[in-house]
Structures are given as structure tokens and as C-alpha cells.
Amino acid sequence: MEILIDIVLRAGRSAVELSLFVLLPIMVVMLSLMRLLEARGILDWLVARLAPVLHPIGLTGLGVFAALQINFVSFAAPVATLTMMEQRGTSNRHLAATLAMVMAMSQANALFPMGAMGLHVGRVLLFSLIGGLAAAAITYYLLGRHLSTEEHIKDETLHHPVAETPKGVLDVINRAGAEAFKIAVGSIPMLVLSLVAVTALRNAGAIDLLTQWLTPLLSLLSIDPALVLPAFTKYLAGGTAMMGVVGEMLKDHHFTVAALNANAGFLVNPLDVPGIAVLISAGSRVAGVWRPAALGACVGIAVRALCHGLLG
């Protein structure tokens, strides 16, 4: 019993430190910047100019906005945009392409905090863009070609607060800070549970046994066996939990910054059980296209992993 209590206390301490002293300040800065750009109309300007360029691969103006949200806000931020797209009559084929792109891209709530651990943020963002566009294109033209293209778009205007006065700027920053605090505090339960589970499994020898079983196959594929634990955590518990596990492994010298950067393509993305569950909650039509979108996202993640392997 004492061993379990010790594991829980250590996991709780690590989770709180990661959430409040790493995730929270970074998300406050990033969200404030994004919300200010949004309120000043700069994102509207950017979306209006990118939308015609990206439309041939299945992305609408709101789809472009979803890409900015996943990369610079959090993995859950595109849910509101996907809901808006569904309600405003975007076709199922365009929904699938947008969902695939979002699933294949890097998630800001893990990306920027892991920058403090040594992750090359700029490189990850570049490869995230390449992988996301590849996922959207393959979904729109191949995996989702059977989906309906019928559209009844009424409005693609982005409705958001404006910041034309000092008070308006302060209001935007306060709302962004509250949003960042909600994200950081909301991540604590999953971080604690995942760290407790992983530590308990490691102490019981289960992780070592699983790694031992997989080592021959991983060696054939030239994959570092140290990736077993982060990958296992990521795909079952999500990116934030993976971030906590990687942080602990780096502290204990069981993982390296070089390995983190080399494998960021398939570690930093929302294509996992919690991520899919959150994203498809956007609406019934979004949930209905998740299979082709997930397959397209796999292609995009493979492209990202290849970029990291060859160019990273």
C-alpha cells in the first residue's frame, strides 16, 4: 500500500508541475497571441488568402482556420470550427478532408510545452503542415471520394470578439488566459492517472516485458525500443499524457532529445483514442466520416514521420 501511495504522490507532483509550470505559461502566451490576431482581423485576412489556394485539396476557409487552431491553440480547439462547418452546410467530403488534416497535424497543447524539453518546434510545424495537406488531399481525392459533395454553405464568416480599444485588448487577453488555465487544469487528471498507470506497469515489469517481446521486430524496422512506452501512452491516453511520460523519461535518462525529435511525426498528433473521441463530438456528420479521415490522417502522419527521418 505504501508503494502505491508513493507512486500516486510522485505522479501527482509531476503532473501538477508539468501542467502549472510548463503547460500553463506557454498556453497563456500562445492563446493570447492567437486570440489577439483573431480579434484584430489578421487571421481573417490570412484565411481569406489561403482558402482559394487550398480549396483544390478539399479545404474551405473554415478548414484553414481549423489548421491554425490545432497547431497554435490545442487539439480540442478545432471542435467548434468542425461544428460550425457541419451546421453551415459544408459537404461530407470537405468535412472528411478537414478532419483528416486536423488528425494528422501537431497539437499545440503538446508541441509548445515539449519545446521546453528540446523539441524543435519550427521543424515540427513545417512537417505538420506538409503532413496535414497530404492527409487532406488523399482523403478528398481517394479515401473519401465516395462521400457526398453536396453543399449548402450559408456563411463562412468567422465571428469573434474585436480588439479595437485597450479595454477590448485586455478582455481578449483575459479570456485567453482563462482558456489556457482551463486547458492546463483540465489536463491534470489525465496526467496523474497516466503517470500512475505507467509507473505501476514499469515497477511490475510489464513495460520491460512488452519491450522485450517487441525488440526483435523493432530492431528489424530500426526503431528505438525506448519508444514503446511513449507510443503506448500516447495512443491510449493522448498527447498530454505522452508529454508527461516523455518528460519523466528524459529526466531519468531513459529517452533522448534526439529520439524525441526523430519520432515527433507520429508522437505529436491527435490521432489517438481521446483525440478521436473529442474531435468526432463536433457533430453527427463529422462522426460519420471519421473512418476515411483517420485513414487519411495515417497517410499524413507517415509523411510527417518520413520528413523527420530524412530531413530532421
Residue 119 DSSP symbol: -
Predicted pLDDT of residue 298: 96
Predicted pLDDT of residue 158: 56
Name the percent of the chain in helix, strand, coil, to the closest 5: 80, 0, 20
Low-confidence stretches of the chain (pLDDT beneath 50) = none
Provide the whole-model pTM.
0.80
Predicted pLDDT of residue 100: 96
SS (H, E, C) 39-55: HCCHHHHHHHHHHHHHH
Cell 505501476 belongs to which residue? 200
**Interior angle at CA 268, CA 28 and CA 16, nearest 5:** 45
CA distances from 239 to 1, 105, 233, 284 (A): 30, 12, 8, 24
Predicted pLDDT of residue 157: 57
pLDDT tens digits for range 143-172: 988 888 776 655 555 555 655 666 777 887
Helix (H) or strand (E) holding 276: helix 273-279
Predicted pLDDT of residue 205: 75
Predicted pLDDT of residue 156: 55
